[in-house]
Structures are given as C-alpha cells and as structure tokens.
Amino acid sequence: MMKILTKNFGVPDSHLLKVARANGAYSSLGKLFAMKPEDAVQEVKKSGLRGRGGAGFPTGTKWGFVPKGTGKPVYLVVNADESEPGTFKDRAIIEKDPHLLIEGILIASHAIGADTVYVYFRGEYYRQWERFLSALKEAKEARIVGERPFIHAHRGAGAYICGEETALLNSIEGYRGVPRIRPPFPAVSGLFGCPTIINNVETLASLPYIIREGGEAYAKIGTEKSRGTKLISVCGHVNRPGVYEIELGMSIARFLAEHAGGTPEERALKAVVPGGSSVPVMTAAEALGGCLSYEGCEKAGSMLGSGGMIVMDESACMVRCLADIAKFYHHESCGQCTPCREGCGWIKKICERLEAGEGREGDLELMLAVADNMQGKTICVFADALAMPVKSFVTKFKDEFEEHIRFGRCPR
C-alpha cells in the first residue's frame, strides 16, 4: 500500500526534526526553490490533487485564481479547524508528522507568493497546537523556515462554523466567526481584503510527495477523477476505529473488512456516513457496493467529504442518530440566515419528539419540507450540511421513522 501521508506515523518520535529528516522531511525543498512559482502551480495541477477539507476542489486550479500584480500581500491560510463530527485525520498529521505540514506550507507559499501564513487551529486542539509550535521552532533553528514566510499559529475558540473558510477569515481578523457573502471569493479578496488561499491540512501534507516525485507520479495513484491517497478516519460500530491511508478508489467493503476490522460481534451493517456528519447517509447495500472516491461515493448516494466515516450496525437507532446530528447543527448554526437558524431548531425539535415517542402524523413530511427550505438558500452550505442528512435518513430509513410514530416509542 502506497503511504504518502502516514509513512512516518509508526516511527518513534516522528514529530522531532531529526527523526523526520532521517525519513525524508524537507527533501522536496531543493527542487521546489529551483522552480518558478508558476511551475510549482503547474505541477500541482498535473497531480490532479483535490482539496481534502470536504469540497474536493482542485488545488492547482484554486491557486491559479490568485490575481497577479495587485500590489497587495498574498496570504496562505491553513485550515486546521477540523470540527466535523466523525473527522479526526488532520490532527493525526499535526501530531505525528508536523514537519510534513510545515513542508507543505513552504511549498504552497512559494507557489502562490505568500509572505505570511496563518495556521488556524481548532480551539480544542491544544496538544496539536503545541506540537506544531515546537516543530516550527525546530525548523526555524535549523534555518529551514526563515523570516519569510512568517508563520502564525492561531487558536480559535472552538466553533464548527469557523472551519468554513470565510468565517475562519473573520475569526482571524478578530470579528465574530460568521461566514461572508461571496463573491468576492477569498482568492481575490480574503484576509484583510487581500488575495488569500485557504487549504486543508491534509491537502498541504500531500504536496511534498507531488513536488519530490512529480505531479504525474501522483496522478498515477487512485482513479481518474480522484487522484492520490486519502486519509479516512473511521469510528462508530467497527472493531478498529482509527485513521487509515487508502489509495482513492478502494471499495468500502474492503476498507471495512481490512482496515476497520468489521462490526462488533459480526453484527449486520446497517448504514455508513462516509464523509463526516454533513453528507447523506448510505444504506448498507449502497455502502457495500460503493467505493472511496469522489465519484464512487456520489454514485453510491453520498459524498466523500472530509473522509470522516461513521459506521452503524443493526443495533443503531436511525432516529437517535439523526437527533444527535440535528442537536449538533442547531447548537453550531451562526444564526445569520433565517432558514438555517430556524430550520435547525425545527429539525431538532421534531427528531426529539419522535425519539420520545411523541411523533405526530405528518412529521416526516414536515422534516422534508423544512430541509427543502434550508438547502441552497443560505449564505454558506452549513444549512445543506443538515438538510442532506435529514433527507437521506428520512427517505432511506423511512420504515424506522414511521415505526417510532406508530408505536409511540423506539422499537429497538
């Protein structure tokens, strides 16, 4: 199995510079600094790398949107907020191989011409923040990182919405962390009104391989539309929860058997959320027939998202699962848009009454109507991130929701 992101994970003290260097850290920099920035962008375009933060937007194409000759500084912002339920892969990179991330930051800064970098850490990631700071100190002392780019490590206060890129920018600027209306897009007018590229930790950690081995070598891994490797964090009803690196295109069935170790006591699989809580749920049949690639997950009725997989076996109550998701989104909505602020509250209330055995006739239709009124009608896609799970849970597991109303209790 090709290991690009996790090759140092099992190595003792892999976070220390001397160990990381002995395992190849910073070996792409000689080649990088001999390249013109536009050639580095070209190499990343050739690799076919897509952003690993959730949306899967091609990284090289995004870098190409930075306008030239504006006279304004260009910023690189690293999204280490990672608050999506079920997603815990970026923190593994920061903890186990912080120098891989720093090397990726140096590559991206060179390519887009950024003199200043902000790394935005989820508030709760104190340990990861400390580990990053000590790795940065070591890299500075070894003169791998110089005066430019200047790297700030910024800690958020712990809000899911601050992972949304424009809310994150507001938070860095000292404002409330709420999403901005686009356009303008951050590549043109982002941090402090200047061109800004925001990239996920895993996206940046994929860059050293691409520069060292070449974009074409990276593009040979994976599928036509999903190049390279991807970290999948898996939790829920599995025997071996954890973070695994896969070649994109691997079947979900194989992933569950070989990496996740199957379900406890071999109970039957009921459902899989492949890409973090905000993507549609898959039935067992969809999951077992699907694969872990952007197009494979779409074909199987969901999305690859951030690669945060949540597995549910036959003992799970789908109403309870959706109620938990709705509670989270209701708590985390920033409240700027009425369909999101009110919709999250309505969905949460309906789920709670279904769970308590107080569901009413028409509740399922009401949930679907509320979800319809949320999706695609707000400033950011947070509202869609609840609407999509609602629609998929209620339609794919309709019998279970109806039973809660009919029996006046959870039948499980």
Ligand X SMILES: Cc1cc2nc3c(=O)[nH]c(=O)nc-3n(C[C@H](O)[C@H](O)[C@H](O)COP(=O)(O)O)c2cc1C
Considering the complex, what minimum distance in angstroms separates the CB of residue 202 from ligand X? Answer: 8
Instruction: Read off the amino acid at residue 360.
Output: R
The answer to whether 169 contacts ligand SF4 (rule: CB under 6 A) is no
- Taking the CA atoms of 333, 336, 341 and 343 in sequence, report the sign of the dihedral they define: negative
- Applying CB under 6 A, the span of 12-20, 214-222, 323-331, 375-383 interacting with ligand X comes to 375-383
Nearer to ligand X, 109 or 199 (CB): 199
Q: Which ranges in 310-377 belong to alpha helices (H)?
A: 318-332, 338-355, 363-374
Neighbouring C-beta atoms of residue 71, cutoff 10 Å:
5
Tokens of 173: 């600027």
Q: Which of 380, 387, 390, 394 binds ligand X (CB under 6 A)?
A: 380
The answer to whether 388 contacts ligand SF4 (rule: CB under 6 A) is no
Considering the complex, what minimum distance in angstroms separates the CB of residue 116 from ligand SF4? Answer: 26
Q: Which does 165 bind (CB under 5 to 8 A by kind): ligand SF4, ligand X, none?
A: ligand X
Q: Which does 82 bind (CB under 5 to 8 A by kind): ligand X, ligand SF4, none?
A: ligand X
The answer to whether 337 contacts ligand SF4 (rule: CB under 6 A) is yes
Q: Which does 199 bind (CB under 5 to 8 A by kind): ligand SF4, ligand X, none?
A: ligand X
DSSP string covering 9-57: TTSTTTTSHHHHHHTTTTTTHHHHHTS-HHHHHHHHHHHT-B-TTTT--
Instruction: Find the binding residues for ligand X in span 200-239 (CB under 6 A).
Output: 200, 203
The answer to whether 51 contacts ligand X (rule: CB under 6 A) is yes
- 250 in Cβ contact with 274 (< 8 Å): no
Burial label for 284, CB within 10 Å (0-12, 13-18, 19+), is: middle
- 230 in Cβ contact with 248 (< 8 Å): yes
Tokens of 82: 């990672």
Torsion of CA 253, 254, 256, 259, to 10 degrees: -170
Size of the site for ligand SF4 (CB under 6 A): 15
Nearer to ligand X, 332 or 363 (CB): 332
The answer to whether 303 contacts ligand SF4 (rule: CB under 6 A) is no
Q: Which does 170 bind (CB under 5 to 8 A by kind): ligand X, ligand SF4, none?
A: none
Q: Which of 45, 320, 341, 353 binds ligand SF4 (CB under 6 A)?
A: 341
Distance between CA 81 and CA 90 in Å, rounded? 9
Q: Which does 308 bind (CB under 5 to 8 A by kind): ligand X, ligand SF4, none?
A: none
Q: Which of 32, 136, 198, 387 binds ligand X (CB under 6 A)?
A: 198
The answer to whether 159 contacts ligand SF4 (rule: CB under 6 A) is no
Q: How many residues does the chain have?
A: 412
Tokens of 357: 């055995």
Whole-Å CA distances, 401 to 62, 195, 283, 360 = 42, 47, 15, 11
Q: What are the beta bridge partners of residue 232?
A: 244
Decide: helix, strand or coil at residue 250: strand
Considering the complex, what minimum distance in angstroms separates the CB of residue 344 from ligand X? Answer: 12
Considering the complex, what minimum distance in angstroms separates the CB of residue 48 from ligand X? Answer: 14
The answer to whether 57 contacts ligand X (rule: CB under 6 A) is yes
Instruction: Find the binding residues for ligand X in span 150-189 (CB under 6 A).
Output: 160-161, 163-165
The answer to whether 382 contacts ligand X (rule: CB under 6 A) is yes
Nearer to ligand SF4, 335 or 362 (CB): 335
Residue whose entry in the numeric block shows the structure tokens 């549910």 = 312
Q: Which does 405 bind (CB under 5 to 8 A by kind): ligand X, ligand SF4, none?
A: none
- Taking the CA atoms of 330, 336, 342 and 344 in sequence, report the sign of the dihedral they define: negative
The answer to whether 211 contacts ligand SF4 (rule: CB under 6 A) is no
The residue among 126, 137, 148 whose CA lies nearest residue 99 is 137
Q: Which residues bind ligand SF4 (CB under 6 A)?
A: 161, 178-179, 333-337, 340-341, 378-380, 382-383
Positions touching ligand X (CB under 6 A) are: 51-55, 57, 79, 81-84, 160-161, 163-165, 198-200, 203, 380-382, 385
